[in-house]
Amino acid sequence: MTDTKFCKSCGTTPSSSARFCRECGAVLAEEPGVDQSASTAKEQVNEGIALYQQGDYQGALGKFGKATEADPTLAAAWSDKGCALGRLGERDAALEAFNKALEIDPDNREAREGKDLCLRMLGSSKEAS
């Protein structure tokens, strides 16, 4: 078994001790053909972000959903899930995801801004706190 890693996102070959790609920030996986364990929540988030940036919000939502299942305490996954849901027009579900992110990390700026936007778009009379 080899320790050589590569970036699935951009193909860069980093140093053997690197855990993240210095070119694109993706979580690194072992070389193709090597038996790999299940993707971590952070890997799912990174894959979801790539899909989101390509405009594939449904695909991104799937990745963020897998990330929240793998690690329900990862606030970034919930916040990103909220962003994808918002892009898909599912504002109530997006608001729930942003609220979950804020329960985990009350200082999560992306979740706070997403929640505020959802409340405005829903025409809520609630104060966006």
pLDDT digits (tens, 9 = 90+) for 66-76: 999 988 999 99
- Show me where the domains of the chain are located: 1-37, 41-121
Tell me which of 23 and 113 has the higher pLDDT.
Answer: 113
User: Contact 114/98 with Cβ under 8 angstroms?
Assistant: yes
Tell me which of 81 and 120 has the higher pLDDT.
Answer: 81
Quick one: how many helices (H) and strands (E) in the chain? 5, 2
pLDDT digits (tens, 9 = 90+) for 23-52: 666 666 554 443 233 358 889 999 999 999
pLDDT at 8: 66
The third-level CATH classification (topology) of the domain covering 41-121 is 1.25.40
User: What's the pTM?
Assistant: 0.65
